[in-house]
């Protein structure tokens, strides 16, 4: 991947305008300009730690962490610090001691197979190394999917991952509890092996400094009611949001490649929901992966996920090798 050229990019943004124009609400930095922001800070992660965080199909290495995630973690740390200062200023303005500052919540969205889970894990580890906020929790929205039995009852099993397949009320209650400052908040868990929510198993989050909420559709706007009004939505409670982006053809290719690797690994577990795919030939597996993409993951990306990209505070655009090519940050 070439890192030639520094500073603001001059290609077209999602709204069809040149990103460099003054009318753009974004600052856009190419890879070399973004990487230069980390030159005075050492990465807190070792090469071995990076390998343990890498998702299936990702090419994450120490250089990517140092050039992309180190500047991002520092930027996020500045946002967290500013939120703390604002809390103290508000206390002085109100002439009273208010409850402790609530956790800083980061929403992280993107397509299936784009690498958002790896991004979330790396950010969790990076942010936890900054002494100002050592307790960083990571929650995926998979646990808030309706159980398979309920999805089947509603005729939604083939639309798993679409906005309507989540218990959005429970997900909203969860983030409201987080931003209400509760000492402990619980979230359901999900097993990718059995492809279902795990009954009676929950994770407990205790007084985190930062919470990362990762999922396909976390940036969805509020639904409009029949009377034209709109209620609250998950992203209303985000302090910062990230969208992991790439070209649709690239993501489809990554999905197919990941499917083929899973066919040789996790799908061979007899307890796997997808064990039926383990015995497919290479050509049959490619055809099945492309069918799933064309009927489920691709439409979900186009109809629901991609339209939320412009709502993110920061967009990370990936190249074909999964490395981040440029970063687009909303202006303050």
> Residue 97's pLDDT is what?
79
pLDDT above 50 (res 17) = no
Distance CA 73, CA 38 (A): 10
> Residue 48's pLDDT is what?
72
Instruction: List domains and CATH numbers for the chain.
Output: 102-330 (3.40.50.300)
pLDDT band at 3 (very low <50, low <70, confident <90, very high): very low
Condensed to tens digits (0 to 9), the pLDDT of residues 261-303 reads: 999 989 999 999 999 999 999 999 999 999 999 999 999 999 9
> Residue 229's pLDDT is what?
81
> Residue 57's pLDDT is what?
58
- Exposure of 278 in the CB half-sphere (CA atoms within 13 A): 13
Query: ∠148-122-206 over CA atoms, to 5°?
Result: 65
Distance CA 254, CA 249 (A): 9
Q: What is the mean pLDDT of the chain?
A: 89
9-18, 188-197, 288-297: which has the minimum mean pLDDT? 9-18
State pTM to two decimals: 0.89
The H-or-E segment that residue 243 falls in is strand 240-245
> Residue 12's pLDDT is what?
44
Q: In this structure, are residues 141 and 215 in contact, taking their beta carbons and an 8 Å threshold?
A: yes
Q: Tokens standing for 187? A: 């979230």
> Residue 38's pLDDT is what?
82
pLDDT above 90 (res 51) = no
Q: In this structure, are residues 59 and 1 in contact, taking their beta carbons and an 8 Å threshold?
A: no
What is the pLDDT averaged over residues 182-191? 95
């Amino acid at each position: 991947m070439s890192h030639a050229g520094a500073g603001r990019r001059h290609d077209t943004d999602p709204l069809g305008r040149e990103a460099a124009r003054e009318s753009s609400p974004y600052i856009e930095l190419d890879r070399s300009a973004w990487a230069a922001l980390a030159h005075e800070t050492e990465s807190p992660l070792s090469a071995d730690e990076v390998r343990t965080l890498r998702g299936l199909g990702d090419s994450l290495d120490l250089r990517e962490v140092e050039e992309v995630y180190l500047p991002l973690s520092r930027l996020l740390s500045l946002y967290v610090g500013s939120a703390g200062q604002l809390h103290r200023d508000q206390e002085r303005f109100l002439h009273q001691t208010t409850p402790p500052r609530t956790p800083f919540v980061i929403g992280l969205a993107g397509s299936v197979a784009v690498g958002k889970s790896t991004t979330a894990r790396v950010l969790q580890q990076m942010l936890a190394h900054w002494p100002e906020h050592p307790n960083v929790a990571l929650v995926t929205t998979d646990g808030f999917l309706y159980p398979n039995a309920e999805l089947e009852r509603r005729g939604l099993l083939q639309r798993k991952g679409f906005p309507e397949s989540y218990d959005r009320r429970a997900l909203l209650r969860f983030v409201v509890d987080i931003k209400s400052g509760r000492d402990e908040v619980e979230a359901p868990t999900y097993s990718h092996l059995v492809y279902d929510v795990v009954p009676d198993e929950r994770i407990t989050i205790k007084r985190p400094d930062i919470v990362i909420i990762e999922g396909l559709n976390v940036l969805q706007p509020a639904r409009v009611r029949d009377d034209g009004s709109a209620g609250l939505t998950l992203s209303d409670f985000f302090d910062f949001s990230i969208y992991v982006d790439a070209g649709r053809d690239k993501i489809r290719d990554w999905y197919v490649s990941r499917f083929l690797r899973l066919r040789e690994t996790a799908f061979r577990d007899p307890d796997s929901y997808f064990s039926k795919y383990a015995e497919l030939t290479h050509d049959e597996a490619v055809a099945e992966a492309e069918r799933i993409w064309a009927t489920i993951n691709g439409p979900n990306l186009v109809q629901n996920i991609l339209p939320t990209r412009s709502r993110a505070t920061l967009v990370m655009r990936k190249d074909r090798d999964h490395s981040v090519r440029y970063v687009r940050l909303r202006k303050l």
